[in-house]
Amino acid sequence: MKFLVETIGCQQNEYDASRLAIFLKSAGFIKSTAKEAGVIFILACSVRQMAVDRIIGRIRNWQRDGKKIYITACVTDDDKKKFTKKGVTYFKDFDELSNILGLKAISYKLTADSCYVPIMTGCNNFCSYCIVPYTRGREKSRSTNEIIKEVTQLISNFSTVQYGSEKPKIILLGQNVNSYEYGFAELLKKINDLPGDFIISFMSNHPKDMKADVIDAIAKLPKVNKEIHLPLQAGSDKILKAMNRPYTAEEYLRLVESLKSKVPKVKLTTDIIVGFPGETEEDFQQTVKVCKKVGFSLAYINKYSPRKGTASYKLGDPIAWSEKQRRWKILDNLINKNK
């Protein structure tokens, strides 16, 4: 049977997609193009409505072509019902998929081209706009031993693969790696001490949890990338509070100062949401001000998208799309253009 794995959303999904493809291949499936595939597996993302709509459109086309569709990853309970009604099969994990497809549980192996390593899944933060704690569940950290074993295997594969002049990268994943249960700074040190010439990156960080031990680790461990992703979301204290992001613009800037002074070559990237309910022009200008002070090298700017089931859903979506677009453009010009 020919299959295709379709991925949208974050790096966690990309990692899971590569594991799923390996799993399917080991079970006798053949990877192919969307046109030829008889079965399509979707790693879904519910973070913004646009991604959900796009997937629904594609499912319609694929079903018209007679393909069987399976879906997993970040799916809300409502959407699970919606997909099931359309004849799409939801599965939670490999075990469930094995049962559905009647496959024997087969162990799978990571390949060299997959350099994402999840160190934890889920999220406990409940930012008021975000669906992830509902779709992915609570935080669960993998043991340090398991992570070190996986990274060691990846590194051993690196030596046999051509990477050109680029050093291979190990990217540690988690919604909030700073709250890794068994100590994130210690984990960085252990991975840094493994033999081999590679770079360690990680994402995402939460400003409320990035403490001095992690900053010191970034500063002194030679293999740790000096580009840090530190989601700001908003520069107005009022909006940060409404977002349930427990820090102020001032505290964020202090954290940035500490990073800049201890890690001289540090580059910062960020996530921002424009058009959160109640964000006035003045609030937005606070975001612009913080961005100017920090000098981000890149920003992922998102237009607010209300997600049913989240705390901020009840606030509606009072800011017009055109206004969100205007704010998006201002930040995009400021941060991402002319680079």
What is the contact surface with ligand SF4 in residues (CB under 6 A)? 123, 125-127, 130, 132-133, 175-176, 206
Which tokens belong to 104? 């024997």
* 3-class DSSP state of 5: strand
What does DSSP say about strands 120-121 and 140-141: parallel, antiparallel, or unpaired? Answer: antiparallel
- Residue 7 interacts with ligand 5AD (CB under 6 A)? no
CB nearer ligand 5AD, residue 155 or residue 279: 279
**Nearer Cβ to ligand 5AD (45/191):** 45
At 172, which helix (H) or strand (E)?
strand 169-173
Residue number, 72 or 204, with CB nearest to ligand SF4: 204
CB of 135 to ligand 5AD, least distance (A): 11
Q: Which does 236 bind (CB under 5 to 8 A by kind): ligand SF4, ligand 5AD, none?
A: none
User: Is residue 304 near ligand 5AD by the rule CB under 6 A?
Assistant: yes
**CA dist., res. 300 & res. 156, Å (int):** 33
Q: How far is the CB of 275 from ligand SF4 (least distance, A)?
A: 16
Q: Give which of ligand 5AD, ligand SF4, none residue 72 binds (C-beta under 5 to 8 Å, depending on kind).
A: none
Q: Work out the angle between the directed axes of helices 184-192 and 144-158 (0-180°, nearest 10).
A: 30
Among 302, 319, 327, 331, binds ligand 5AD (CB under 6 A): 302
Supply the angle between the helices 249-262 and 281-294 in degrees, to the nearest 10.
10
Q: Looking at 129, 247, 252, 328, which residue binds ligand 5AD (CB under 6 A)?
A: 129
Q: Which does 287 bind (CB under 5 to 8 A by kind): ligand 5AD, ligand SF4, none?
A: none
Helix, strand, or coil here: 309? coil
**Which range touches ligand 5AD (CB under 6 A), out of 18-26, 62-70, 221-229, 300-308?**
300-308
Q: Kindly give, in sequence order, each residue whose CB lies less than 8 Å from that of residue 141, ignoring residues fewer than 6 positions away.
A: 119, 120, 174, 180, 181, 182
> 4 or 130: whose CB is closer to ligand 5AD?
130
* DSSP assigned state of 335: I
Q: Is 252 in the site for ligand 5AD (CB under 6 A)?
A: no
Regarding 46 and contact with ligand 5AD (CB under 6 A), the answer is no
Residue closest to 253 by CA, chosen among 207, 213, 299: 207
CA distances from 323 to 13, 53, 312 (A): 31, 21, 19
Residues in contact with ligand 5AD by the rule CB under 6 A:
47-48, 129-130, 231, 233, 271, 273, 302, 304-305, 307
